Amino acid sequence: MSLVRNVGNASTVILSLAGVAVAAAALAGRYGVQAWQAFKARPPTARIRKFYEGGFQPTMTRREAALILGVRESVPPEKVKEAHRKVMVANHPDAGGSHYLASKINEAKDVMLGRTKGSGSAF
């Protein structure tokens, strides 16, 4: 008789756990649907950073140099050198980049560091 009673308790526990699992899945599904609806209701935003659409100015300004290097105009020299290194790695002529862009990147670094007033490009 005790064997039958233990089997009955085990099946009750299993059914209870199954009920809890179903309830948890239902709540998770409900939360997922609400999150998806909130995500879709957001206004569309640009997911890709918009690039500067203009060409280079005849004489490079500090603003243009900062745009080329991706830094602020008031950044310390260490950050300028770090940004220059990152941009040059991506655009170096030995890695398939353009000589013209490399010269503009170098000119931007010089302008930001105060070494030249711009238009020092070889092109």
* Cβ within 8 Å of residue 89, ≥6 positions away: 95
Looking at the predicted structure, is the pLDDT value of residue 122 above 70? no
Q: Residue 1: its pLDDT value, please? A: 47
d(CA 123, CA 101): 10
- Mean pLDDT over 91-112 rounds to 91
pLDDT tens, 26-52?
999 999 999 999 988 888 776 666 666
Residue range 86-93: mean pLDDT, rounded: 91
**83: DSSP letter:** H
pLDDT, position 114: 87
Domain boundaries, the chain: 1-45, 62-112
Q: Which is the CATH superfamily of the domain at 62-112?
A: DnaJ domain (1.10.287.110)
Question: If you average pLDDT over residues 7-35, what whole number do you get?
Answer: 90
Euclidean distance between CA atoms 56 and 70, whole angstroms: 15
Q: Span 17-28, mean pLDDT?
A: 95
pLDDT band at 115 (very low <50, low <70, confident <90, very high): confident
